[in-house]
Each structure stands twice: as structure tokens, then as C-alpha cells.
């Protein structure tokens, strides 16, 4: 980061300026829905209070060319993961219970078995909706080299914080309009604040699926986790759907749906029962056009086999799934690793015989490959620097050799699941050989050093602001509606997210308590 105005970020504030800025930020957040529900043993049915989400006082600097690259890549990633989801043989080999990760990872296997059963019985709905987020870090391994863009992961289920990311960007625009950030940096000027309209973009994807279902009075089902504190992020999408498209939303947990969800045996329509008196004309159920999962990405959401069977029931209906099981499997870390192997990416993006005229240029494919760090499977045969114990695969041996520069990832979403650096050797010592296939090794991204920010913890108010060295992660949102007899893909890039964390924190989840919500200030 050689920009002269960023040798020290953020700009220095006096104590009076810091107090004033924090007060403005936290008040604005509470006034504009940049909120969480407070921590509680049991969340009340109707919220009685809210706290502001964790936030950064300054937007984080990000090279304009890399921001443009991330947005440009999203279209290719939308198409790539849609096509991966449509390739049943590929997913069976990589994620299935007979040949892939599902053999050793119970959660993956449970999902795959339901998908296999659906295929054997004949899928009812062949359209899929994905609300995606591709996450990146700046990579700066050496001070003299240009900063590059590297992908952390690609999310195909419950890609959260789209709504609150827009609110965070609006917060920083407000702080600039209100205070000019006290003239502390020439970088902080209006043209360097990129617009973020993620709420409208994600709602548009859901509305496109609803339109394709073609039953105007049907509703969209939000499947949510019990005790969810991040409800406002979800509610903003609900409000946008109602106000812009006149589409109503039903919110229920998977446990509630065990009792309320029914699939009509003749026409395979999905209906959800609501309490008596909530619908006109004495009706007690609504037809569902689209199932939007903000739950179902972690084994915790499936406490019994009945919950897995509920997932099968939802997918056996005519309702469009967001995501379908196969699209959720496509987002697996093992898929991410397999895509880096020679020729695999090209088979999905450059083969007109498979995908018709919609192919990508070699330059576009090179840009995607250029966004990847090195990665491999622990059960794979990979080149290593030395001979290894015959009881270990070369993939495990290489992970031991390179542990100080690695992260190990399982097939999980939601933060808090990865193994980093010094913890890797002892973890490998205790990892049963049969479970190696469920893990991948990925080279760590070397984020730029020396950038700081003022972080305000959730609900902490004016006394909780801490200045610390940070790392910022950029997420680009997109949606894709795809499938049907011709496997057509309609897709769009629709917005962005920034999560900032202390540099010593390995994990990046906001809901898990590791990060704060942030936005960008673009630099040239």
C-alpha cells in the first residue's frame, strides 16, 4: 500500500472528534436499521429492544482497480457455480456419499442422500436461485510488489449481511456529509465513496424467482434460525419485496416447518400453514413460490433426522429453492479446491459443446485463476519438499511442511470452523485418516500490514471504540436464476460487503463476533 495518504490509516482524531464521531455513528445506526437484537437466553417473540451492529468509524481503503476487478469477476462466478450445480456427475464425484466427501462427512452425506432420492424419484422443479457472495482479501506478500486480489471463498447459501452492508456504506456517507471527517484526509471525498445498493439487488433476484414461478398470490418463504439476532438484515429484504414488488414473505424456522409445511400430492405445490385469523376469507395456508434459506447451512440446524427429511420435502415441491441442495453442495470447500486443478475451470467456462455459445475468453479465465491461492486436498497426492511418512498422504505431509502459511477448511459455513497455522500439526496428529477427504489446505492470504481503524463493538456505544490494526474482507454479491430444459442462466452482480477485523483474529464472521461492518474508500 504505497499511496502517500495511506502510510497511516485512519487519520488521527482528537478525543473530542472521536467521541463526537462515535456518537453520530451509533445514533445513525440505531435510527437507520443497522441493528442487531441484543444477546438473550431466549429471544422474545416480539423484539423489545435493539443494539447497533458492530461497525467501523472510517471506511477502509481499497484500490479502485481491484474493486472493479472483483465486480467484473462476479458474472463469471455466477455462471461458474450455476453450471457446477447443474453437473450432477461432477457433484457426485466430489461431494457424493459413494465417491466424494459425503463418504466421510456426515452432514454432506445427509444432504447428498436427499438429493439422490429426489433425482431417483424425478425432480419437480428444475429452476434454481442462487444469492451468492464471493469473498476476497488484498494480497501483499512483499512490500515492493503490487497488491493483488485473492478469493477467500464463494458462498452459495445464506449469504448474509447484504442489507446491513448497504446501511454501513450509508453510515459512512452520512459521517462524511455531516462532519467531512473533520478534514483529516484528502482521500475522504465524495467521489471515492462507491454506492452500495445491495438490498434492491438481492430482492430483485428473489423477485425474479417469484416471477418465474408465475403464481402472483404465492409468497416467498424465509427459512430462518431460531433465536436469530441478525433479523434486521433479513427484514430489509422483506420490506423491499413488499414495497417494490408487492410480494409477501412468510418467516418460519425449520422446526416450525415440521408442522406447517405440506406438499400437495397431485400438483406438488408447497403450502405453509399460518395461525388462524392471519389470512383473509378464513384461509389458513399460503402457497410458496420460493424457499429462501437463511438456515440449513450447519448441522446445528438439523437436530433430528426429521429436519433433514424436511429439507427433502421442501425440495420435492414446485417451489424454487434458494439454494437447492445441489447448489449448496456446489459451494463446498472441496469443490473450490477441485476447480483449481488443471482443466476443470475451463470445462465449465470454455466448452461450447457443453454450454452453447456462452463461453468465456482465456483472458477472463486467467483473471479467475489469478484470484485463487494455492490449495489441495489432504487426501491428495501432491508435490512436497521431502519424503514423508508412508502412513500419511503427501497432502497431509505438505500441510505439515507449510503449516505456518496455511489454513485447513472443512465443508462448513458460518465461521469458526477452520484450523490455522500453529494449530495444524496437532490437529493432523488427531485427524483419522478416513476423515482427510473432508478437509482442504489453502495457502494463507497475506493481507497488507499497518492499516488501522476505529472499531465499535455491537451495542457498545461511545465508550467502546478501539483503535487497532485491522484486515478488511470484501464480499461481492450476485444472483443467478438458472436451469430448465435449456439450462439457461440469468444472473447479475448486485452489491458488496466489507467486514473488518483485528489483524490477529483468524475468523471473519460478523454474526460469530469476529468482525465489524465496514465500507470502502477507493484509492488510485
270: three-class secondary structure by DSSP: strand
- Does 262 count as an annotated binding residue? no
- Asked if 35 is an active-site residue, the reply is no
Q: What is the mean pLDDT of residues 295-301?
A: 96
Tell me the C-alpha distance between 250 and 210, whole Å.
Answer: 13
Q: pLDDT tier at 514 (50, 70, 90 boundaries)?
A: low
Residue 414: the pLDDT is: 66
DSSP-assigned letter for residue 9: B
**Structure confidence at residue 184 (pLDDT):** 95
Q: What is the pLDDT of residue 512?
A: 47
Determine whether the annotation assigns residue 51 to a binding site.
no
- Catalytic-residue membership of 400: no
Catalytic residue among 60, 78, 134, 160: 160
**CA distance to 177, 225, 229, 420, per residue, from 43 (Å):** 36, 12, 8, 33
When comparing pLDDT for 388 and 313, which is higher? 313
Is residue 103 annotated as a catalytic residue, yes or no?
A: no
Give the per-residue pLDDT at 197: 97
Q: What is the pLDDT of residue 5?
A: 47
Question: What are the respective helix, strand and coil percentages of the chain, to the nearest 5?
Answer: 40, 25, 35
pLDDT band at residue 516 under the 50/70/90 scheme: very high
85-144 pLDDT tens trace = 999 999 999 999 999 999 999 999 999 999 999 999 998 899 999 999 999 999 999 887
**Lowest mean pLDDT, pick from 63-77, 380-394, 447-461:** 380-394
Query: Which own/partner contact pairs does 242-245 have at CB distance under 8 Å and 24+ positions apart?
Result: 244/200, 244/203, 244/207, 245/203, 245/207, 245/210
Report the pLDDT averaged over residues 50-54. Answer: 94
In Å, the largest CA–CA distance within the chain is: 75
* Share above pLDDT 90 across residues of the chain, in percent, rounded to a whole number: 80
Q: Which three cell numbers stand for residue 373?
A: 491461492
pLDDT of residue 389: 67
pLDDT digits (tens, 9 = 90+) for 214-269: 999 999 999 999 999 999 999 999 999 999 999 999 999 999 999 999 999 999 99
Asked whether the beta carbons of 331 and 157 are under 8 A apart, the reply is yes
Q: Are strands 440-443 and 465-483 parallel, antiparallel or unpaired?
A: unpaired
Residue 468 forms beta bridges with which residues? 453
CB 251 within 8 A of CB 231: no
The catalytically annotated residue of 103, 318, 333, 398 is: 333
| The pLDDT of residue 464 | 80
Tell me whether residue 457 is annotated as binding. Answer: no
- Sign of the CA dihedral with 229 first, then 233, 236, and 242 last: negative
Strand partners, 130: 480
- 65 a known binding residue? no
Q: How confident is the model at residue 385 (pLDDT cuts 50, 70, 90)?
A: low
230 is in an annotated binding site: yes
Rounded average pLDDT over 327-352: 95
Catalytic residue among 155, 371, 394, 453: 155
pLDDT at 510: 55
Question: Quick check: is 153 catalytic?
Answer: yes
Check whether 506 is labelled as a binding-site residue: no
**Residue 211, marked binder:** no
133 carries an active-site annotation: yes
173 is catalytic: no
**Of 409, 459, 472, 508, catalytic:** 409
Q: What is the pTM of this model?
A: 0.95
CB 81 within 8 A of CB 330: yes
DSSP for 229-265 reads: S-HHHHHHHHHHHHHHH---EEEEEHHHHHHHEEE-T
Instruction: Print burial letters for 61-100: b (CB count within 10 Å at least 16), e (below 16).
Output: bbbeebbebbbebbbbbbbbbbbbbbbeebbbebbbbeeb
User: Beta-carbon neighbour count of residue 156 at 10 Å?
Assistant: 29
Closest C-alpha to 86, from 484, 491, 490: 484
* Domain extent listing, the chain: 10-373+458-523
Instruction: Establish whether 170 is an annotated binding residue.
Output: no
- Mean pLDDT rounded to a whole number for the chain: 92
For residue 480 the three cell numbers come to 443467478
Residue 391, pLDDT score: 67
Least confident of 3-17, 117-131, 332-346: 3-17
pLDDT value of position 282: 80
Known active-site residue 160: yes
Q: Give the span between the Cα atoms of 54 and 240, in whole angstroms.
A: 23
60 assigned ligand-binding residue: no
Peptide bond into 323 cis (omega under 30): yes
CB 185 within 8 A of CB 5: yes
64 as an active site residue: the answer is: no
pLDDT at 45 over 90: no
Q: How far apart are the first and last CA of the chain?
A: 11
Answer whether residue 386 shows pLDDT above 90.
Answer: no
Which is more confidently placed, 472 or 461?
A: 472
Catalytic residue among 478, 499, 515, 519: 499
Q: Once rounded to an integer, what is the mean pLDDT over residues 171-181?
A: 98
Which position among 374, 414, 461, 502 bears the catalytic label? 414
Cα separation, 256 vs 278, in Å, equals 16
Active site (annotated) includes residue 333: yes
Give the pLDDT score at 237. 98
Amino acid at each position: 500500500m504505497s499511496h502517500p495518504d495511506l502510510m497511516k490509516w485512519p487519520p488521527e482524531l482528537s478525543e473530542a472528534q472521536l467521541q463526537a464521531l462515535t456518537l453520530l455513528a451509533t445514533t445513525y445506526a440505531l435510527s437507520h436499521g443497522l441493528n442487531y437484537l441484543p444477546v438473550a437466553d431466549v429471544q422474545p417473540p416480539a423484539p423489545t429492544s435493539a443494539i447497533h451492529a458492530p461497525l467501523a468509524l472510517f471506511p477502509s481503503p481499497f484500490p479502485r482497480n481491484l474493486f472493479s476487478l472483483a465486480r467484473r469477476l462476479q458474472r463469471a462466478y455466477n455462471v461458474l457455480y450455476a453450471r457446477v450445480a447443474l453437473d450432477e456427475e461432477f457433484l457426485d464425484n466430489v461431494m457424493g456419499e459413494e465417491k466424494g466427501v459425503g463418504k466421510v462427512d456426515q452432514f454432506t452425506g445427509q444432504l447428498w442422500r436427499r438429493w439422490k432420492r429426489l433425482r431417483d424419484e424425478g425432480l419437480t422443479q428444475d429452476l434454481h436461485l442462487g444469492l451468492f457472495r464471493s469473498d476476497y482479501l488484498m494480497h501483499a506478500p512483499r512490500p515492493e510488489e503490487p497488491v493483488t486480489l485473492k478469493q477467500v471463498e464463494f458462498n452459495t447459501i445464506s449469504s448474509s449481511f447484504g442489507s446491513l452492508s448497504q446501511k454501513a456504506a450509508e453510515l459512512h456517507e452520512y459521517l462524511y456529509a455531516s462532519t467531512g471527517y473533520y478534514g483529516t484526509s484528502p482521500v475522504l471525498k465524495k467521489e471515492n465513496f462507491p454506492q452500495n445498493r445491495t438490498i434492491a439487488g438481492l430482492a430483485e433476484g428473489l423477485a425474479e424467482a417469484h416471477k418465474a414461478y408465475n403464481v402472483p398470490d404465492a409468497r416467498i418463504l424465509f427459512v430462518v434460525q431460531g433465536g436469530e439476532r441478525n433479523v434486521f438484515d433479513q427484514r430489509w429484504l422483506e420490506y423491499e419485496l413488499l414495497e417494490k414488488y408487492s410480494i409477501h414473505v412468510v418467516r418460519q424456522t425449520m422446526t416450525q416447518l415440521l408442522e406447517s409445511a405440506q406438499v400437495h400430492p397431485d400438483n406438488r405445490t408447497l403450502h405453509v400453514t399460518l395461525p388462524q385469523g392471519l389470512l383473509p376469507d378464513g384461509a389458513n395456508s399460503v402457497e410458496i413460490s420460493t424457499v429462501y434459506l437463511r438456515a440449513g447451512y450447519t448441522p446445528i440446524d438439523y437436530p433430528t433426522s426429521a429436519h433433514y427429511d424436511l429439507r427433502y420435502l421442501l425440495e420435492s415441491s414446485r417451489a424454487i429453492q434458494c439454494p437447492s441442495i445441489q447448489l449448496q453442495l456446489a459451494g463446498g470447500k472441496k469443490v473450490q479446491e477441485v476447480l483449481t486443478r488443471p482443466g476443470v475451470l475451463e470445462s465449465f467456462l470454455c466448452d461450447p459443446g457443453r454450454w452453447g455459445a456462452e463461453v468465456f475468453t482465456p483472458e477472463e479465465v486467467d483473471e479467475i485463476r489469478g484470484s485463487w491461492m494455492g490449495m489441495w486436498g489432504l487426501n491428495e497426492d501432491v508435490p512436497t519438499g521431502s519424503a514423508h511418512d508412508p502412513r500419511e498422504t503427501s497432502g497431509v505431509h505438505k500441510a505439515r511442511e507449510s503449516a505456518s502459511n496455511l489454513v485447513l477448511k472443512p465443508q462448513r459455513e458460518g465461521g469458526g470452523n477452520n484450523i490455522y497455522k500453529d494449530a495444524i500439526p496437532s490437529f493432523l496428529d488427531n485427524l483419522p485418516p478416513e476423515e482427510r477427504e473432508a478437509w482442504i489446505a489453502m495457502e494463507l492470504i497475506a493481507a497488507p500490514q499497518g492499516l488501522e481503524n476505529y472499531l465499535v463493538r455491537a451495542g457498545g456505544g461511545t465508550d467502546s471504540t478501539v483503535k487497532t490494526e485491522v484486515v478488511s474482507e470484501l464480499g461481492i454479491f450476485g444472483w443467478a436464476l438458472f436451469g430448465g430444459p435449456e439450462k439457461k442462466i440469468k444472473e447479475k452482480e448486485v452489491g458488496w460487503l466489507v467486514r473488518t477485523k483485528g489483524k490477529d483474529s483468524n475468523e471473519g464472521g460478523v454474526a460469530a463476533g469476529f468482525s465489524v461492518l465496514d465500507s470502502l474508500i477507493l484509492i488510485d
